[in-house]
Amino acid sequence: MLNSVIVVDDEAPIREAIEQWLSLSGFEVTLFSRAHECLKRLPVDFPGVVLSDVRMPDMDGLELLAELQARDPELPVILLTGHGDVPMAVEAMRDGAYDFLEKPFTPETLLASLRRALEKRALVLENQRLHAQADTRTRLEATLQGVSPMMQTLRRHVLDLAPLPVNVLIRGETGSGKEMVARCLHDFGPRAKKPFVAVNCAAIPETLFEAELFGHESGAFTGAQGKRIGKLEYADGGTLFLDEIESMPLAQQAKLLRVIQERRLERLGSNQSIEVDLRIVAATKPDLLDEARAGRFREDLAYRLNIAELRLPPLRERREDIPLLFSHFARQAAERLGRNAPTLSGAQLGHLLSHDWPGNVRELANAAERQVLGLENPASVEAPEGQSLVARQEAFEAHCLRAALSRHCGDIKAVLNELQLPRRTLNEKMQRHGLTREQFLPDGRLGPR
């Protein structure tokens, strides 16, 4: 339960008496003799109550109330008044004050008012936290799109890991969206306002790798004109994304390991040690421990990078996401190119669902753009060998169920009418495809069952 109280009063005996009463009752008390001091040091989203005298020099309690209301209208403010100030205090309550206590007041009266105010503050902060979580989930769902169970699990893990100060290793095939996931780990965490620095380790020549990562001083090597900040230093306070980490030369792996361990680096040509605070998110297609056993990667670095691992499923393992993603990419392309977004026929959708998409999401986005340009028909994509009819039917059935649930916002009766299914059959099919009506309710509200 919240127990923080700020007391603002210019009379030292009153401040000290209130502090003694509240401390003995388990409250955390912060004292200020002037309103300006309180405003200067008040934390953002202060999880407590402000208790202020009305009559004070420089800035009185009513002016303080107005300033606090401007910052946080939900912050409870209790005013302490003399007898002649009661009408003024009543008016202040209309303006947003939580309560007022007329002097002299008893400790019991003060404690009762504070506890009520703190209970209200706790409810307000919890409500704000839940709204923030819902907003975050909505933004993440719009970025990492997909309704398959695997994508729902991935989003949950991203939200869990984003605020934690740990390195993350992302495993996934080419085109599966590893950089986008890395970006989400950055954007939905406390480092969001600091740099996100992406480095493709496979695209840097080995001779330039150290200078690219660590930077250099002027004259450090032939052609080194002027001082240059390296990627590690530039990412200070933020996130360094190392894509295709398995391509990093072994010599640089050792130096990166040292930076991770010591949180310090030296530019080429310099003896000065520079402190860095960064989170490393690395991405790879192969298993780094397999690479280590083959002598191509340092095992100790693999463990340092893989504090937490996220696996990105290939598109062929989450076929139910294909229609949603294709429509999303087609709309984006149509908007960018000034064209109309295409509508898929049943045959086209069937071909999309049966294709194996070796290039994953990147290949799907390219196919959507080509269709918008009239250069490709999704029906021309052939089904891969080995894709059974049963698998194609299952994917198409899952799409039809999801589309109906989405159209009717989780209204089961409406879905039953549209698909002409018995309730028991619909329940069995939804369970088999990992679907629940709650996934399709608008804004998380309960709807018709």
Sign of the C-alpha dihedral computed for residues 413, 419, 421 and 427 taken in this order: negative
The pLDDT tens digits of the residues spanning 243-287 come to 999 999 999 999 999 999 999 999 888 888 999 999 999 999 999
- 441 shares a domain with 380: no
- 272 shares a domain with 178: yes
Q: Tell me whether residue 171 is in a domain.
A: yes
Q: Tell me whether residue 138 is in a domain.
A: no
pLDDT of residue 175: 94
Range of the domain at 412: 388-449
Q: Tell me whether residue 135 is in a domain.
A: no
- 160 shares a domain with 73: no
- 182 shares a domain with 116: no
Q: Tell me whether residue 141 is in a domain.
A: no
Instruction: State yes or no: pLDDT of 448 exceeds 80.
Output: no
Q: Tell me whether residue 139 is in a domain.
A: no
Among the candidates 283, 313, 343, a domain finishes at 313
Q: What is the mean pLDDT of residues 60-75?
A: 93
- pTM greater than 0.75: no
- 309 shares a domain with 174: yes
Instruction: State yes or no: pLDDT of 295 exceeds 80.
Output: yes
CATH, residue 40: 3.40.50.2300
- Among 65-74, 91-100, 287-296, 388-397, the least confident range: 388-397
Q: Tell me whether residue 133 is in a domain.
A: no
d(CA 22, CA 5): 9
Give the helix/strand (H/E) hosting 211: helix 209-214
- 429 shares a domain with 308: no
Six token digits for residue 301: 């670095």
Question: Rounded mean pLDDT of the chain?
Answer: 88
Cis peptide before 384 (omega within 30 of 0): no
- 87 shares a domain with 231: no
The pLDDT tens digits of the residues spanning 380-389 come to 544 455 556 6
3-state secondary structure (DSSP) of residue 36 = helix
Among the candidates 335, 360, 385, a domain finishes at 385
- 397 shares a domain with 375: no
How much of the chain exceeds pLDDT 90, in percent? 60
- 418 shares a domain with 358: no
- 427 shares a domain with 338: no
CATH, residue 225: 3.40.50.300
Which residues contact residue 310 at a Cβ distance below 8 angstroms, ignoring those fewer than 6 apart? 154, 157, 158, 161, 168, 169, 170, 171, 181
The pLDDT tens digits of the residues spanning 176-215 come to 999 999 999 999 999 999 999 999 999 999 888 988 999 8
Number of domains observed in the structure of the chain: 4
Instruction: State yes or no: pLDDT of 1 exceeds 60.
Output: no
The pLDDT tens digits of the residues spanning 419-436 come to 899 999 999 888 888 788
DSSP-derived secondary structure for 230-249? -HHHHTTTSEEEEETGGGS-
Give the confidence band of 446 by pLDDT, cuts at 50, 70, 90. Answer: very low
- 277 shares a domain with 292: yes
Give the confidence band of 376 by pLDDT, cuts at 50, 70, 90. Answer: low
Q: Tell me whether residue 132 is in a domain.
A: no
Among the candidates 385, 405, 422, a domain finishes at 385
Instruction: State yes or no: pLDDT of 336 exceeds 70.
Output: yes
Q: Tell me whether residue 353 is in a domain.
A: yes
3-state secondary structure (DSSP) of residue 171 = strand
- 394 shares a domain with 378: no
